Chains A and B, each alone.
Chain A
Amino acid sequence: MVSVINTVDTSHEDMIHDAQMDYYGTRLATCSSDRSVKIFDVRNGGQILIADLRGHEGPVWQVAWAHPMYGNILASCSYDRKVIIWKEENGTWEKTHEHTGHDSSVNSVCWAPHDYGLILACGSSDGAISLLTYTGEGQWEVKKINNAHTIGCNAVSWAPAVVPGSLIDQPSGQKPNYIKKFASGGCDNLIKLWKEEEDGQWKEEQKLEAHSDWVRDDGRVFIWTCDDTSGNTWSPKLLHKFSDVVWHVSWSITANILAVSGGDNKVTLWKESVDGQWVCISDVNKGQGSVSASVTEGQQNEQ
């Protein structure tokens, strides 16, 4: 069952391009072609505008919340080639950093898992990916991967923090030996996996080829899985071929449901059935939808 519990009238003056909840699910950040970023308190079904952030000079494509252990921090990226990091200080939201290292539209921002520190990955239409790392004292160190995707990177997403060889967190106190990885998708139809080398440089680890158009535009959604322990063999499984552009995919927190939003203004929810097939369990229209029981029943039968 998908039921609307809150309808937030954002009062944006143009198209909304992204809407993200914070870690707790109590605040909503939105961004729009009207060049603004807004933050709402949406607890208890309410909507209180907390901040209307101006600073971008073009449409704002994406927003991303940092983990709350670093405070209340939001990153936004825009067609104006800038990435702005906003921060709440004493109840007021302000710009804390502006990254102007890209030559074209910055299409995607994503914070690394909090275990790594405060690191932001940014993907741009100039083909580069930059990584901003907070080094203290208001300073951000920038690393840039040039030509990550020819004529443009459209999306970046971090891999969860996992220590190689263990599925459970290591005992506290011991310094975990994390290997930082993220994935990017681009106009060269490729997905690339990037890994931080021991010298701190980012290296292309894998190139995943299955899409025949921009990762996004060919309407295909693949689920990539890596079964071998070395992490080198990724195999795609076609979830569905949509008739239109797929704009965005989002995993549920427990990672068993995938939300796919398409160019036909449709949002669909997908779940893996018992036999490993991906099944559409819901069509969401204006936040409403029913959930087909087939998949859940399948599990019941399994019992």
Chain B
Amino acid sequence: MKLKEVDRTAMQAWSPAQNHPIYLATGTSAQQLDATFSTSASLEIFELDLSDPSLDMKSCATFSSSHRYHKLIWGPHKMDSKGNVSGVLIAGGENGNIILYDPSEIIAGDKEVVIAQNDKHTGPVRALDVNIFQTNLVASGANESEIYIWDLNNFATPMTPGAKTQPPEDISCIAWNRQVQHILASASPSGRATVWDLRKNEPIIKVSDHSNRMHCSGLAWHPDVATQMVLASEDDRLPVVQMWDLRFASSPLRVLENHARGILAIAWSMADPELLLSCGKDAKILCSNPNTGEVLYELPTNTQWCFDVQWCPRNPAVLSAASFDGRISVYSIMGGSADGLRQKQVDKLSSSFGNLDPFGTGQPLPPLQIPQQTAQHNIVLPLKKPPKWIRRPVGASFSFGGKLVTFENVRIQAQQGAEQQQQQHHVFISQVVTEKEFLSRSDQLQQVVQSQGFVSYCQKKIDASQTDFEKNVWSFLKVNFEDDSRGKYLELLGYRKEDLGKKIALALNKVDGPDVALKDSDQVAQSDGEESPAAEEQLLGECIKEGKQVSEFLPSAGGTFNISISGDIDGLITQALLTGNFESAVDLCLHDNRMADAIILAIAGGQELLAQTQKKYFAKSQSKITRLITAVVMKNWKEIVESCDLKNWREALAAVLTYAKPDEFSALCDLLGTRLESEGDSLLQTQACLCYICAGNVEKLVACWTKAQDGSSPLSLQDLIEKVVILRKAVQLTQAMDTNTVGVLLAEKMSQYANLLAAQGSIAAALAFLPENTNQPNIVQLRDRLCRAQGQPVPGQESPKIPYERQQLPKGRPGPMAGHSQMPRVPTQQYYPHGENPPPPGFIMHGNVNPNAATAQLPTSPGHMHTQVPPYQQPQRPQNGWNDPPALNRVPKKKMPENFMPPVPITSPIMNPLGDPQSQMLPQQPSAPVPLSSQASFPQPHLAGGQTFHGIQQPLGQAGMPPSFSKPNIEGAPGAPIGNTIQHVQSLPTEKITKKPIPDEHLILKTTFEDLIQRCLSSATDPQTKRKLDDASKRLEFLYDKLREQTLSPTIISGLHNIARSIESRNYSEGLTIHTHIVSTSNFSETSAFMPVLKVVLTQANKLGV
């Protein structure tokens, strides 16, 4: 396809390959006159701009020369690596002169463009060539057998390759060898070619077919084979290209007879040795394979002869041809449609002729074009055979599961006679693993989840924590798995019940009796001031204040007392009391601001009145601490959480931990966390995570964490996932709430995590971590992809005990040949017409994935790990897939006692605030004197003035917390162990009795593995490793059970035997490789119970070198 054209009758030279952009230099031809018969000459440089679709070439510079040229070449001499300096243009002139031009100067429009000039030659210089190894060496040929070798660094004195050949003849062509730098060939119209060795300074061989008809117009060395070259003849009687091999120089190796008339020029592609261009007097430009003689391409040219043809060194698909009709054309051999270009030309013509269309059809001027047949077929076909440079020899592409697919083709030397090497056309599928630490941590996490070792895992994390925050988070997480979790939370927040109890006890010991305590409380509190935290003082102080008022009233009750019935307030109250009208009495007291009196009376007046009075009191009282008291009394924790100063989030959380009922606990923690996140500074924002951990709100934890941490790297994602997984476990254990819902954000993070694992080749692990009970499209899709990537088990082999897994997978896959069952049979139903809604998420269309439904039908846990566990042990509750604890060693599920009551806040300041919480459920008796003794247990520091509400530095609950509350089983935290542990233990022995023996052929597995563990144990030193190994030994029972039941697939079994063999030979790393292979190729559910453990053992064995 023609790309560009320039109307010049000129010699041409492409810029060297290093040069960017591509230039084409033209120098007025000495041999041909153009249409104007002008005798002026010029040197021009054009830029090849392929992004411009027009046929025009952009002229960069024109230099009016006094010379016309027989030959023009562009060498890369002195060109730097960036191609900035544009090399040297070397021109052969009419009068024996060789002129060196600086193309950069020409482009710059400089006058001084000639670098050097030498007219040592006799007659026109028709042949020039640059040595490709030493670009400063240029060979030239002229009349009288003259050949000179020029050193561009020392241009004055040329060398000769040896003695002149006799008889003297014109040198028409000259060419440096492409493989051996000191070999040069020259040829003349007489038909003889001479090969020179510059080291020997003599001709070493003469090539001639003795036909006397080979008028050499072209000479070119084979780009790859040092001993081969071609000669072209311009004699019409012998219009051939001869291929010679100097090793067999008696006759040509091959003769290409593709032209009808003499050949004027040839050019051999450096980019593909199978492409040789030739142009001749038959007006053809052909591209043939000189190694076979086959014509690969005929360029669509016009009827004019071309006298010069050149490959573009930089763009291998581009060539230029100069024709006698005064035009240089640039072509691509890749074919293509010329429509666009043609249209351009038509447009140009139309514009030149005004709006007139001179030819009616919009066709271009006839003389410029080949007649109609090409006009009809604007499509130009490419080369018959693809050029070498588009034949991709190597490739690498990633695929799912961290696999890399690579192939490479070893280049075959196209050596003649060399035996055809049988090429191996292999494709390698490799596993790429780059995140070792990530994988090992993920592995650990998985093991922890399986082994239920949450507490020790959290502890390890706490120990390894580098920041306080990290430590806190892990401490909070750990508490979830311990008894008395609320109490421990409080401790973490800085409130130790024991400490407080001691302090109170200390305070109490200093006084003799309750009455005295009441009276002396101010002093006691003062003297104890350093020990008691300020908040304690505040809280207790409030009680004291009230108590004090009471105590002031009481003595009078003991003494003689005068019932005044005067008209003042006292009198009115007295009258009201005497008439049993408590309500009025209370009103009177309130009116007189006698709060204590009012409340005392209200107590006597019954619950309703008390409540009313409380309200009125709070409405009236403006003390800053009132709100706290209000909250405590009214049990309105929302108030505290919503309105406390965020600096006191710890206190607020403590209050919630102490008082909140289970059903409101999470919501309150959540609320606090949300406030911290949205209102607090960045430090407080991160603390919100702790609130979310208390709340068990996984989704919010993820959101908060993601906000605070950079989650882009695998390891920081691992950081998050560790916490999330542990928290989810904790929530399952401690809260009765439905933990199966997976939020959008969590789903995204988990699928991101699973994707990362998959990308490291851990497809089984990825599947394990993917939440099951969700319809999030990305997770459903990923699950499907992972399942299939794992290679599904052959239907018959699938264990009937893993119904979940089977339901999960698309049903009815007949076999490998049939492929995926959702293959559209009826295209119209399966494809989505353009413009319609894209298909619904979760592209598996047979609706097979409904994990919730699937699990709901199952009485057992998904249990593909623990199929041997009898169903009766399974609690009837929704399960969450593999990461549920196995039933056998289930941590007792914490549950709130049904009659749980949080420590009852002080509904009446003097009534029964201590003692068994159960008793508080009894209706309050409106009798005043009884509780006096218990009242005495309050230490009574003085009420410090000016406390602020937000200054709660002491858990509110302590005030009303009886000593017995530190007992875990009745503490305020959600949950106490229920008695189902015993049941599990009891059921174990019966299970063991029924075990079948391991088949003999597999017994070796057990003995080998156990032996290995023993060896490891004996050489392991640290207790941690020993623990691990002990655990592993136990967990391998799962494997033995599977062996007993013979439920493992043959591939896994054989893999295990291979591992055993590698253990025998102490080649643990091989064992690990096999392990990886098994895990990555087997069904996860089959192997998940024991493979991770086996890996631990192998890794340990490897480490210990046993």
Instruction: List chain A positions with a Cβ less than 8 A from chain B.
Output: 1-26, 28, 30, 32-33, 41-45, 48, 50, 58-59, 61, 67-72, 79, 81, 88-91, 103-105, 107, 114-119, 125-128, 133-138, 141, 146-147, 150-152, 154, 168-169, 172-173, 175-176, 178, 187-188, 190, 212-214, 217, 245, 247-248, 250-254, 256-257, 259-263, 265-267, 269, 271, 281-282, 284, 286-289, 291, 293, 295-296, 299-300, 302-303
Contact = CB atoms under 8 A, between A and B. Distances in A.
8 contacts: A21-B400, A43-B791, A68-B820, A137-B828, A151-B318, A247-B394, A267-B394, A296-B434
Contacts of A119: 834
B20 A28 contact: no
Interface stretch (B293-301, B335-343, B565-573, B962-970): B335-343
B1051 A10 contact: no
Contacts of B1056: none
A256 B760 CA distance: 11
A261 B337 contact: no
Given A3-B433, A21-B429, 5 more contacts: A117-B838, A137-B828, A188-B50, A247-B393, A265-B409
A19 B395 contact: yes
Contact of A89 (B339, B716, B748, B823): B823
Contacts of A135: 833-834
Contact of B816 (A8, A45, A50, A267): A50
A207 to B, nearest CB: 8
B839 A291 contact: no
A253 B716 CA distance: 19
Contacts of B409: 15-16, 265
Given A19-B407, A107-B390, A250-B398, A3 B822 contact: no
Contacts of A136: 827-828, 831, 833
A7 B755 contact: no
Given A24-B788, A286-B408, A104 B382 contact: yes
B425 interface: yes
Interface string B48-69: 0011110000000000000000
B395 A150 contact: no
Contact of A265 (B393, B399, B827, B1080): B393
Contacts of B394: 247-248, 261-263, 265-267
A288 B393 CA distance: 18
Nearest to B841: A172
Contacts of A282: 432
The 9 closest A-B pairs by CB, nearest first: A287-B428, A21-B399, A126-B336, A69-B843, A43-B791, A150-B50, A25-B400, A250-B397, A104-B335
B280 interface: no
B837 A50 contact: no
Contacts of A125: 317, 334-336, 382, 390
Given A105-B390, A259-B397, A261-B394, A26 B791 contact: yes
A133 B758 CA distance: 32
Q: Which of B434, B789, B1080 has most chain A Cβ within 10 Å?
A: B434
B505 interface: no
Given A72-B820, A117-B834, A247-B395, A138 B437 contact: no
Contact of A19 (B427, B433, B791): B427
A10 B938 CA distance: 88
Contacts of A70: 824, 830-831
Contacts of B836: 117
B391 interface: yes
Contact of B838 (A2, A50, A115, A168): A115
A59 B429 contact: no
A28 B404 CA distance: 11
Given A172-B777, A175-B837, A271-B434, A213 B428 contact: no
Nearest to A67: B843
Contact of A284 (B399, B404, B410): B404
B1019 interface: no
Contact of B432 (A12, A138, A187, A252): A252
Q: In the complex, which range does the number of interface residues on chain B fall in? A: 35 or more
Contact of B405 (A19, A128, A134, A154): A19
A261 B408 CA distance: 9
A169 B819 contact: no
Contact of A4 (B382, B430, B434): B430
Interface string B377-399: 00111100010011111111111
A69 B845 contact: yes
B469 interface: no
B990 interface: no
Given A4-B430, A89-B823, A15 B393 contact: yes
A248 B841 contact: no
A21 B395 CA distance: 13
Contacts of A114: 838-839, 843
B153 to A, nearest CB: 27
B822 A25 contact: no
A251 B398 contact: yes
Nearest to A16: B407
Contacts of B823: 71-72, 88-89
Contacts of A188: 50-51
Contacts of A133: 834
Contact of B336 (A19, A115, A127, A295): A127
B331 to A, nearest CB: 10
Nearest to A5: B431
B819 A91 contact: yes
Nearest to B827: A138
B822 A59 contact: no
A137 to B, nearest CB: 6
A13 B824 CA distance: 33
B832 A253 contact: no
Contact of A288 (B334, B335, B382, B430): B430
B332 A168 contact: no
Nearest to B409: A15
B830 A71 contact: yes
B424 interface: yes
Contacts of B715: 299-300, 302-303
A282 B389 CA distance: 26
B435 interface: yes
Contacts of A128: 337
Given A33-B391, A71-B823, A253 B398 contact: yes
Contacts of A266: 394
B406 A267 contact: yes
Given A21-B400, A114-B843, A152-B317, A286 B337 contact: no
A190 B755 CA distance: 33
B406 A284 contact: yes
B374 to A, nearest CB: 13
Interface in B399-456: 399-411, 424-437
Nearest to A175: B837
Nearest to B430: A287
Output the residue of B317, B396, B426 with the most chain A CB within 10 A: B396
A265 B393 CA distance: 7
Contacts of B982: none
Contact of B391 (A15, A69, A134, A251): A15
A2 B400 contact: no
Given A17-B391, A265-B394, A6 B716 contact: no
Given A15-B391, A32-B425, A248 B397 contact: yes
A213 B20 contact: yes
Given A5-B429, A50-B817, A133-B834, A300 B827 contact: no
B335 A88 contact: no
B759 interface: yes
A136 B53 CA distance: 36
Contacts of A3: 430-431, 433, 1073
Contacts of B392: 17-18, 61, 247-248
Contact of B401 (A25, A104, A141): A25
Contacts of A269: 404, 432, 434
Contacts of A126: 334-337
